[in-house]
Amino acid sequence: MAILVTGGAGFIGSNFVLDWLTQSKETVVNLDKLTYAGNLRNLDPVKDNSNHIFVRGDIGDSALVATLLARYQPRAILNFAAESHVDRSISGPAEFIETNIVGTFRLLEAVRAYQASLAQPDASKFRFLHVSTDEVYGSLVPNEAAFSESRRYEPNSPYSASKAASDHLVRAYHHTYGLPVLTTNCSNNYGPLHFPEKLIPLMIVNALASRPLPVYGDGQQIRDWLYVKDHCAAIRVVLDRGRIGETYNVGGWNEKANIDIVHAVCALLDEMQPRIDAQPYASQISFVTDRPGHDRRYAIDARKISEELDWKPAETFETGLRKTVRWYLDNPEWVREVQSGAYREWVAQQYLDVSSTP
């Protein structure tokens, strides 16, 4: 028995692989292209685990995917592979189109041929689980109801548009070809192994390096925050008991404004690793020009997965954030290694326009 995980060296994918292998003896075939956000160091705890097979490659490489499917005969495929950073999609959308749309299409084609070749009962037991985002739903006004699974798609960035397209392809392959698919749309994840271009790890890393803490616009953009290991648990539940063809929204019931997140990170760092000069880390906050098309609010209605599959997050935002900050404090070598010259240049360019007030 085996599963194939795509994008399993990235943030969410590597957390999923690590958690899976602590709870199951089932083999994980891990396919990852190892772009800037894919990091083999994330998988160090399982580098000697015979149940973990890592393959460097692209989901758009149809021949490679077909070979892996034929060789390992997985009972399920979990597709985490994606370009996922909104800011990067604005400055360079082509890679998002290629990976998130074209790559997903080619993966689905290979999977469709593989599933059709399986004998019963393996064919009917097979599952393709597609991991997506709440950003496909667009933006909410302050008092609007949270995103449900029936919400109309209204993507507002090249990233969210490319993920919306991939969601539609997955749905179409189920309705047209009968591929047994499941889709999850999650809210903002945070936790260990998060590449430091996203809000929480960027604030931690910059604070400890005595650099400005860049906050877009007025900092009042609201997101729903989900601890990554809670997300991994939800995916396992959906894979095990989810209804074929269904979408499940996965959220943490934690709506927070970005500026409040930054202050929460600063407060934990003040407690856990105070500055040498005893000044608060919040003094490093700098407001920068807002990004184009910045969605104002996301919120997930996670009642469906709770009521149908009996899942709910184990962590509160407070407990999850404390664990996250602790992890970054305990793993400075990991942080140093992922901060390549290319990463530093990108951050410097992205947050060039720094001011002291919103």
Instruction: Return the CATH number at 29.
Output: 3.40.50.720
Side-chain-side CA neighbours of 349 within 13 Å: the count stands at 9
159 is an active site residue: yes
Question: Residue 350: pLDDT band by 50, 70, 90 thresholds?
Answer: low
**Is 116 within the bounds of a domain?**
yes
SS3 of residue 159 by DSSP: helix
Residue 120 has pLDDT above 70, yes or no: yes
**Per DSSP, what are the bridge partners of residue 225?**
188
Scan for tokens 């992922």, then name that residue: 338
Look at residue 332 and tell me if it is in a domain: no
Q: Is the pLDDT of residue 187 over 50?
A: yes
**100 pLDDT higher than 70:** yes
Asked whether 94 and 102 are in contact (CB, 8 A), the reply is no
- In-domain check, residue 146: yes
Q: Is 220 exposed, middle or buried (0-12, 13-18, 19+ CB in 10 A)?
A: middle
In the residue annotation, 255 being an active-site residue is answered as no
177: Cβ–Cβ under 8 A, 6 or more apart, which residues? 112
| Catalytic residue of the set 58, 134, 224, 255 | 134
Asked if residue 128 belongs to a domain, the reply is yes
- Classify residue 113: in a domain, yes or no: yes
Closest to 7 in 3D by CA, of 53, 56, 52 = 56
Of 35-44, 211-220, 227-236, 311-320, the one with minimum mean pLDDT is 35-44
Tell me whether residue 270 is one of the annotated catalytic residues: no
Q: Which residue among 159, 216, 298, 351 is the active-site one?
A: 159
Does residue 48 sit in helix, strand or coil?
coil
Residue 337 lies in a domain: no
CA distance 177 to 186: 26
- Catalytic: which of 32, 83, 135, 224? 135
Whether 196 maps to a domain, the answer reads no
Residue type, 173: Y
Give the model confidence (pLDDT) of 192-249 as tens digits: 999 988 999 999 999 999 999 999 999 999 999 999 999 999 999 999 999 999 999 9
Domain housing 36: 2-191+227-257+296-317
As a whole number, mean pLDDT of residues 263-286 equals: 98
pLDDT of residue 73: 98
Domains identified in the chain, total number: 1
pLDDT value at 356 more than 80:
no
Q: Is residue 276 part of a domain?
A: no
